[in-house]
Structure 1
Amino acid sequence: MQIALNARILQAPRTGIGHYLTELIHALSQESDVELSLFHGWGWSPMLPAAALPGYSRITPVLRQIPGAYQARRWLEQRRFDKGRPQTVDLYHEPSLWPLAFKGPTIVTLHDLTHVHYPATQPAARLKEIERRLEQGVKQASLILTDSQFIADEAQAYFGLGPERFIVAPLGAAPRFHPRTDDELRSVLLSHGVEPRGYFLCVGTLEPRKNLLQALRAHALLPESMRQQFPLLIVGMAGWKTEQLNEELRKRMLEGTVCLLGYLSDEHVAQLIAGARALIFPSLYEGFGLPVLEAMASGTPVVVTRRSAMPEVAGAAGNYIEPHDLNGLRDAMSRLVDDQTHWQACREAGLQQARLFSWNRCATLTARAYRQALGG
């Protein structure tokens, strides 16, 4: 099977969907009957593109003000997609949002319905394009891949489609996410002034959906000595509507109990996750919650909300909280410091839960979807 895979998103800084696509491409190379042709937005290549630097944007704020900017870019991408595509392509896989036009079987990966629940996460012009094209793309797709059963169920109800149109292909944790010794971690952690298991960690784009403001406020409720001994480190790029978050961040950073690290390299993030006392992930909505799985695979306990797909990922290993329960989040953090037996049990449960997921399994299910869409 020759598969046309839209890899344009890999030219942006790698966040959730970018990591999904990178790992999926690597894992699909183990499927003997799958041959990939990657569309990079400007042309075709069998090679993965290099990721852009943080702050990179395909549509700049200036261009967003130009009427029809998204439509013009879309038109240009469609021409490039058609012009250089190998004639022997059997199927087109669109891994992000909405597919380009293709006269043949199409598979779409639908990661979540964030644009429905949190429309302000998108610029107005882009949201209009998503709403106009996504439903059409989903309905024309032969099959729809989702990262979780939660999203499959949600999409079936939202688009009015039957369950036979969906295949759930859960994500995996990359090999760099594994337990590490203190000696392996010390160099990177010392550069941030922390010790192994001596800090809490948040990972994610700074935007309201990630609920990081609650993490900041719950951490501030811990005893001062605990806050000093176990500061809160935050890794991620700035997102939208961060004004209130920034105000709280400045306050806590001045106290010296919170540190904003920004966008870091993949290996750097993996070491920080492996060295944390716990990953604090109070997100309001996730199609999967990849950092939760990555933390568990690294032997790091996780504190998560019992929302959307996160119980599917964390299973019995999660320390569950309600999204706006500050005292509950504070207590979960405190227990992971004070109760070493509980911390060790969470670590072991997380490692066991993480073994249920792998990128090879994701690729196997994806290749199976290709074969099914082609009538195999």
Structure 2
Amino acid sequence: MRIALNASILRAPRTGIGHYVAELATALQADSDIELELFDGWHWRRDVPAAAQPGYSRLSALVKRLPNAYALRRHLQQARFEQGGRRLRPALYHEPSLWPFEFDGPMLMTLHDLTHVHYPHTQPADRLREIERQVVRGLERASRVLTDSQFIADEVSLHYGVSPEKLVVAPLGHAPRFHPRSQEQLASTLQSFGLQARRYLICVGTLEPRKNLQLGIEGYLALPEALRRCYPLLIAGMPGWGREQMQASLQRALASGQVRLLGYQPDETLAGLLAGARLLLFPSLYEGFGLPVLEAMASGTPVVLSRRASLPEVAGAAGLYIDPEDPQGCTEALQQLIEDESDWQVRHELGLAQAKNFTWTRCAQITASVYQQLMDT
């Protein structure tokens, strides 16, 4: 069964969808019944790229300055996609994001979330117009639509009128690098940041409004001074749109020396930081899944998170939930997991058990079963 998978997102530094494509492709390659062909945006390949393309960010910034940049790039990529498709003759095409290529055959699409609907300002205007047009066309053309959570499946059905029979939930997994680590295993990573194991808190996510980091910072800054001195808050993630909306609170927090902005971190470094933290703070307003929550639990780190969107599906009983519009509730939850060792240990164990329910092998098995269904029809 020869499958074409659009892997062009792997040219960029990896965040949620990039990790999905890389981990899913790797897991699918272990299935002897599947012959996976990856389209990286310009070329077809069998191997999963180990890292982003050098110079991608500079090239992307340059391309965006061109008139109709997104449509132009897509037109060129479509031509390369068709050229390789004629040679390889895949039986099925899997589009793992919002914008499927034209393909003369059955097509499967993964829709991770409806951020473009709820938070349209996360995209440049010309790209948003293309996304809105292409998503509708993609959902009409797709024989099946995968989602990461039941929450998103319900949203897709309600917002776009997609039949529930056409939707398949394939929950994400966590990579092997996310696991509990001893102090000795953490030493080199933590020493480079001047940290001690379990003596800091961490937020992971792009700096943009839907991640709700401003509330997280407010909740953290309301902790007693003694706790903040002992437990600094680290924020790891790329700059996003709307960062200026949280600029005042962010600058005040950074000036205190108790909040540290780390920027984007390599995969292995982030895995070490998650495993060594006292807790992950994840106050997001909207998620299609919430990979950092799963990755923290798999690392043995409890999570303070919003009771919103898909997050309860991921964290289950292991999470300590907050109202993402209540800074005081956030403060109280942070203080609880810092000071209550018994509660911390319970959530540590619950998180490890909950994480076992989510693997990339299971995600790939569900995906492969949908491939087979489409081949049999």
- TM-score, length basis structure 1: 0.97
- Take 1:181 and 1:246, find their aligned partners in 2: how far apart are those partners? 36
**Structure 1 position 254 matched with structure 2 position 268:** no
> Cα deviations across residues 302-336 of structure 1 (Å, max 9, x unaligned)?
01111100000000001000111101100000011
**Structure 1 position 302 matched with structure 2 position 303:** yes
Question: Counterpart of 1:146 in structure 2: which amino acid?
Answer: T
- Take 1:97 and 1:262, find their aligned partners in 2: how far apart are those partners? 26
- TM-score, length basis structure 2: 0.97
3-state secondary structure, aligned to 1:93: strand
- Take 1:191 and 1:47, find their aligned partners in 2: how far apart are those partners? 32
Partner of 2:362: 361
8 Å CA contact 2:209–2:245 kept in 1: the answer is: no
Question: Counterpart of 2:12 in structure 1: which amino acid?
Answer: A
Partner of 1:84: 84
Question: How far apart are residue 362 of structure 1 and its match?
Answer: 0.2
- Take 1:255 and 1:167, find their aligned partners in 2: how far apart are those partners? 47
- Take 2:316 and 2:223, find their aligned partners in 1: how far apart are those partners? 26
Question: Aligned ranges for residues 1-376 of structure 1 at < 5 Å?
Answer: 1-49=1-49, 50-52=51-53, 56=57, 59-60=60-61, 63-85=63-85, 86-375=87-376
3-state secondary structure, aligned to 2:32: coil
- Take 1:215 and 1:168, find their aligned partners in 2: how far apart are those partners? 30
**In 2 relative to 1, CA 360–160 (structure 1 residues): closer, same or farther, beyond 3 Å?**
same
8 Å CA contact 2:11–2:56 kept in 1: the answer is: no
- Take 2:57 and 2:243, find their aligned partners in 1: how far apart are those partners? 18
Question: How far apart are residue 57 of structure 1 and its match?
Answer: 6.0
8 Å CA contact 2:139–2:162 kept in 1: the answer is: no
Question: How far apart are residue 244 of structure 1 and its match?
Answer: 3.1
Q: Which moved more, 1:186-195 or 1:228-237?
A: 186-195
8 Å CA contact 1:12–1:57 kept in 2: the answer is: no
> Cα deviations across residues 91-133 of structure 1 (Å, max 9, x unaligned)?
0000011200000000000000000000000000000000111
- Take 1:349 and 1:163, find their aligned partners in 2: how far apart are those partners? 32
8 Å CA contact 1:13–1:54 kept in 2: the answer is: no
Question: How far apart are residue 282 of structure 1 and its match?
Answer: 0.3
- Take 1:75 and 1:196, find their aligned partners in 2: how far apart are those partners? 50
3-state secondary structure, aligned to 1:191: helix
Structure 1 stretches of 4+ with a deviation exceeding 6 A read: none
Question: How far apart are residue 58 of structure 1 and its match?
Answer: 5.8
Question: Counterpart of 2:41 in structure 1: which amino acid?
Answer: G
8 Å CA contact 2:26–2:48 kept in 1: the answer is: no
Question: How far apart are residue 67 of structure 1 and its match?
Answer: 3.2
**In 2 relative to 1, CA 363–38 (structure 1 residues): closer, same or farther, beyond 3 Å?**
same
**In 2 relative to 1, CA 244–124 (structure 1 residues): closer, same or farther, beyond 3 Å?**
same
3-state secondary structure, aligned to 1:144: strand
8 Å CA contact 1:2–1:36 kept in 2: the answer is: yes
**In 2 relative to 1, CA 224–54 (structure 1 residues): closer, same or farther, beyond 3 Å?**
farther
Question: How far apart are residue 66 of structure 1 and its match?
Answer: 3.8
- Take 1:55 and 1:250, find their aligned partners in 2: how far apart are those partners? 29
**In 2 relative to 1, CA 327–54 (structure 1 residues): closer, same or farther, beyond 3 Å?**
farther
3-state secondary structure, aligned to 1:92: strand
- Take 1:154 and 1:268, find their aligned partners in 2: how far apart are those partners? 34
- Take 1:343 and 1:52, find their aligned partners in 2: how far apart are those partners? 40
5+ residue gaps, structure 1, are none
Question: How far apart are residue 63 of structure 1 and its match?
Answer: 4.2
- Take 1:46 and 1:244, find their aligned partners in 2: how far apart are those partners? 43
- Take 2:54 and 2:183, find their aligned partners in 1: how far apart are those partners? 30
- Take 1:59 and 1:138, find their aligned partners in 2: how far apart are those partners? 27
- Take 2:301 and 2:252, find their aligned partners in 1: how far apart are those partners? 28
Question: Counterpart of 1:20 in structure 2: which amino acid?
Answer: Y
Question: How far apart are residue 264 of structure 1 and its match?
Answer: 1.0
**In 2 relative to 1, CA 271–54 (structure 1 residues): closer, same or farther, beyond 3 Å?**
farther
**In 2 relative to 1, CA 18–365 (structure 1 residues): closer, same or farther, beyond 3 Å?**
same
5+ residue gaps, structure 2, are none
8 Å CA contact 1:64–1:125 kept in 2: the answer is: no
Q: Provide the alpha-carbon RMSD of the alignment.
A: 1.3
3-state secondary structure, aligned to 1:56: helix
**In 2 relative to 1, CA 127–255 (structure 1 residues): closer, same or farther, beyond 3 Å?**
same
**In 2 relative to 1, CA 210–261 (structure 1 residues): closer, same or farther, beyond 3 Å?**
same
Question: How far apart are residue 55 of structure 1 and its match?
Answer: 7.4
Question: Counterpart of 1:341 in structure 2: which amino acid?
Answer: S
- Take 1:174 and 1:279, find their aligned partners in 2: how far apart are those partners? 17
